[in-house]
Structure 1
């Protein structure tokens, strides 16, 4: 879709989001699986939040961390997916400057918050398996409260300069974003200014935050694996590996998609733009849909809490 503002040098007041510029004819078909995944993510995370809130036996540190993860997932989904579906269904492509930069801030800060939450949860499992006798004194409600504040404040402060730097750029002509979302690089490329500082800061911040989290997660699960393999009780090692393994695979999936998105942004000229856009959208949808299922379904206490919740509803 062409826009008169593309050839103009006048300051622009809004952006236009163009999803899949080369394959716009099949956007309606893509909206169906995206809608189902969105409903699954919202329903599963909401159910998990209500279950943890109402079931007294789940008022424990690990489940408070799960609640934080669900809150982050819900905010991420609501920030990205409704706008994407509005573009697909109603052709509502315009987005104001404040809404665009707010979406950019939430995406850039909440994804590292999720990664940091995974890291704290991995530490929780490390203490539970490698130091079970010390677990009640180390992983306390006070520890979770401090960790939650740290997760939110650190990532919000370190990622806030990304949308701020982008908003300070001068946009004098182009306003068509070739993306479904207000990704930093997609927006900053439209400016008339040099955005090298913006690009470098995002690269350093993302790799510092996400890289350190993933390293600590990998280290924690390495110690967990070593401890589990020492279990002498019959079937104990297999049971522990099946539970922890699914958690680690989910974390690895989260990190792998993010790594693919980062690498394709760097090599965008060698990768079809529509694939990059699809990866950006799916990264804000698939992990939120899978997190409550993997952590909830494989946790006996949560399954029992959901069953009680359903019985109350009946």
Structure 2
């Protein structure tokens, strides 16, 4: 009887232990993390305040940047305050339902961001390969529809996750070796079969990451071919210059995420603290860097910032 009770146990809360093996360094790790969070809030809020009130910025590229900023602000608020409270106040407990909400939001928002990055790659493809048809192919109504598709896509793909986790049992083990409720970190501590959860996670990742990165690669291959055909060297530099910020954002968004994804499934020899640090980087660095990269590389945004500073 006791074995049966043990088997069907589901905790009312989890314990997030932070970064195993680096407990002594967690306070010092929290300092750059806090600075990154502050820069994320300031940078993305500034992007929204620059773009949304100005009608001249109501163009596809800038509207996509606004979507990225909103996603980054929500994603950062979902995880970073809790991580800092673990490091600063030893506040390691998280309610079971709150953990599921955090898990859902982290991954759904990541998928929404991936959809927006894919749309931005298509935007650059149309702008460079079909400049005369740009406004007819991508009117603002189409941008709004893409935003809705991003929300629906991320939500639908992640909707099964909380329900699949609810069917698991944890055999009195509620300690998660992580700083936040990452899907596989929660699944791994279950004591019943997790095959369905693992197959689901792998399928969703392939449907989102593999499809999006393939489509982005195809878009940029077409852009490179179009740029090579341009007769003027100046025109080539200008065309590639408009793509450079987007390529940087794609790299800093996908590389840490792919490392975290593959480390969970195949990186059994990777030390746990390295894996957790990378998992934290992929929720900290892209939201912080996106506004910095686009602010520094986008001429119109730079001009607008200069005008604001001159007025003040």
Q: Do the aligned residues in 1 keep the contact of 2:17 with 2:175 (CA within 8 Å)?
A: yes
C-alpha RMSD of matched pairs (Å): 1.6
Residues 128 and 239 of structure 2 are in contact (CA less than 8 Å); yes or no, is this contact kept in structure 1? no
SS of match in other structure, 2:252: helix
- Corresponding residue for residue 287 of structure 2: 288
Deviations 1:147-202 (CA, angstroms, capped at 9, x unpaired) = 11111102210121122211232233011100001011111222232111011101
1:77-103, Cα deviation, whole Å (9 max, x unpaired): 111111111111111000001110001
Partner of 2:206: 207
Q: Which residue matches 1:230?
A: 229
Which range moves more in the overlay, 284-293 or 246-255? 246-255
Aligned ranges 1:86-97 → 2 under 5 Å: 86-97=85-96
Work out the CA distance in 1 between the residues paired with 2:308 and 2:169. Answer: 53
Distance in 2, matches of 1:23 and 1:62, equals: 41
Within 5 A, what are the aligned runs for 1:216-227?
Answer: 216-227=215-226
Unmatched runs of 5 consecutive residues or more in structure 1: 1-7
Distance in 2 between residues matched to 1:294 and 1:249, nearest whole Å = 8
The 10-residue stretch of structure 1 (168-177 or 98-107) with the greater mean CA deviation from structure 2: 168-177
Distance 2:233 2:104 in 1: 49
Counterpart residue number, 1:193: 192
For 1:179-190, list aligned pairs within 5 A.
Answer: 179-190=178-189
2:83 matched to 1:60? no
Q: Which residue of 1 aligns with 2:70?
A: 71
Q: Which whole-Å CA distance do the structure 2 matches of 1:127 and 1:292 have between them?
A: 23
| 2:111–2:153 CA contact under 8 A, matched in 1 | no
- Where 1:71 maps in the other structure, the secondary structure is helix
Compute the displacement of 1:113 (Å). Answer: 0.9
Quick check: 1:163–1:184 contact (8 Å CA) kept in 2? no
Name 1:25's counterpart in structure 2: 24
What displacement does 1:236 show?
1.9
How many correspondences in the alignment?
306
What aligned pairs does 1:144-163 form with structure 2 within 5 A after superposition?
Answer: 144-163=143-162
Q: Separation in 1 of the partners of 2:139 and 2:93?
A: 46
Flag structure 2 segments of 5+ consecutive residues without an equivalent: none
Helix, strand or coil at the partner of 1:270: coil
CA distance in 2, matches of 1:124, 1:152: 18
Alignment of 1:134-153 (within 5 A): 134-153=133-152
User: Is the contact between residue 122 and residue 221 of structure 1 (CA under 8 Å) also seen in structure 2?
Assistant: yes
CA distance in 2, matches of 1:84, 1:268: 24
Equivalents in 2 of 1:245, 1:234: separation in Å?
Answer: 16
1:228-267 correspondence runs (5 A): 228-267=227-266
How much has 1:303 moved relative to structure 2? 1.7
* Aligned equivalent of 2:83: 84
SS for the counterpart of 2:131 is: coil
Distance change >3 Å, CA 223–CA 210, structure 1 → 2? same
Q: How far did residue 61 of structure 1 move?
A: 2.0
Report the Cα distance in structure 2 between the residues aligned to 1:191 and 1:234, rounded to whole angstroms.
59
Q: 2-side partners of 1:213 and 1:11: how far apart?
A: 36
- Give the conservation status (yes or no) of the 8 Å contact 1:221–1:248: no
Correspondence for 1:125: 124
> What is the distance in 2 between the residues matched to 1:65 and 1:241?
19
Question: What does residue 46 of structure 2 align with?
Answer: 47
- 1:16–1:176 Cα contact (<8 Å) kept: yes
Q: Equivalent residue for 1:4?
A: none
Give the structure 1 partner of residue 173 of structure 2: 174
Which has more helix, going by share of residues? 2
Mapped partners of 2:35, 2:48: distance in 1: 20
Q: What are the superposed Cα offsets for residues 54-74 of structure 1, whole Å, 9 maximum, x if unpaired?
A: 222111222111101111111
- Matched with 1:38 is 37
Query: 8 Å contact 2:114–2:212 — kept in the other structure?
Result: yes
